[in-house]
Amino acid sequence: MLKNKTILATGAGSGIGRTAAQTFARAGANVVVVDLNEAAARETVAAIRAAGGQAEAVVCNVAVEDEVAAMVAFAVSHYGRLDGAFNNAGIEMHNKPVHELTAAEWNSVIAVDLTGVFYCIKHEILAMKANGAGSIVNTASASGVRAQANSSEYVAAKHGVVGLTKAAAADAGPLGIRVNAICPGLIMTPMARDRLMHDPVFSQALDGLRQRHIIGRFGETSEVAEAAMWLLSDRASFSTGTAMLVDGGYAI
């Protein structure tokens, strides 16, 4: 599905990003595995190579534009072109009501989860223009289409990603570049298992969150990765500016 395409994936050192990078590689892509954690990125690359795939690791803080520009430049210089990008890097909310949130806490989430996506889209489009084609997929969230308590900074960022995706699709369409988003529900990632579920505020809401997923369970990283791969591929050639829900019915 992605044979011989160069695909960049951020936040690919663990969770959805790691599974997606491995999924892209199995589909024949050359994968640029990007993460802030170098060891984690290299673990993903090692797993891909062990399975016979092609991958390279890049360390990048997506909240820093110069680092994002360098990340994209590496992909182009190493593999000759950039065909697709999965902008997945993100951090979680602070689990506080809006009136208790500090400016620093607000800014920390917006910087990564929204501004970081902007930086990625900007430089990826600049690289893909040379091809006259490309596909970008941004990880938003079910929180990008509905809200819940104690997560105003995260909800705002993810709503922003949905809007940014639509606006970028309008700008990039004439260049032959598609831009879409996926909106996962609660996915069983290390971030969810190791941090969110141990937060006393978040854990109190867990039963309610599970009930909101009308499919009766939380999601798996592979389910999000498959959706991202479809949107990146030519099979989704008539899809742009969409925010695909992969949420077990959470946002209904």
Domain ranges, ordered by start, for the chain: 6-189+220-244
Q: Are 139 and 184 in contact (CB under 8 A)?
A: yes
Residue 164 has pLDDT above 60, yes or no: yes
> What pLDDT shows up at residue 105?
98
CA distance 84 to 229: 10
What are the two backbone dihedrals, phi and then psi, of residue 35, each rounded to the nearest 5 degrees?
Answer: -160, 155
CA distance 192 to 90: 12
- Fold annotation for 6-189+220-244: Rossmann fold (3.40.50)
Confidence of residue 252 (pLDDT cuts 50, 70, 90): confident
CA distance 110 to 251: 22
pLDDT averaged over every residue in the chain: 94
DSSP helix/strand/coil, 136: strand
DSSP helix/strand/coil, 234: helix
Catalytic residue among 79, 119, 154, 250: 154
Q: What is the CA radius of gyration of the chain?
A: 17
Over residues 98-123, the mean pLDDT reads 98
Residue 41 has pLDDT above 70, yes or no: yes
Window from 152-161, 209-218, 233-242 with minimum mean pLDDT: 209-218
Tens of pLDDT, residues 42-70 = 999 999 999 999 999 999 999 999 999 99
Is 154 a known active-site residue?
yes
For Cα atoms 111, 22, 233, give the angle at the middle one, nearest 5 degrees.
Answer: 80
Tell me the whole-structure pTM to 2 decimals. 0.94
- How far CA 173 is from CA of 123, 128, 193, in Å, comes to 16, 12, 38
Tens of pLDDT, residues 169-218 = 999 999 999 999 999 999 987 665 655 556 666 656 666 676 778 898 88
% of the chain exceeding 90 in pLDDT: 86
Q: Are 168 and 121 in contact (CB under 8 A)?
A: yes
> What pLDDT shows up at residue 202?
61
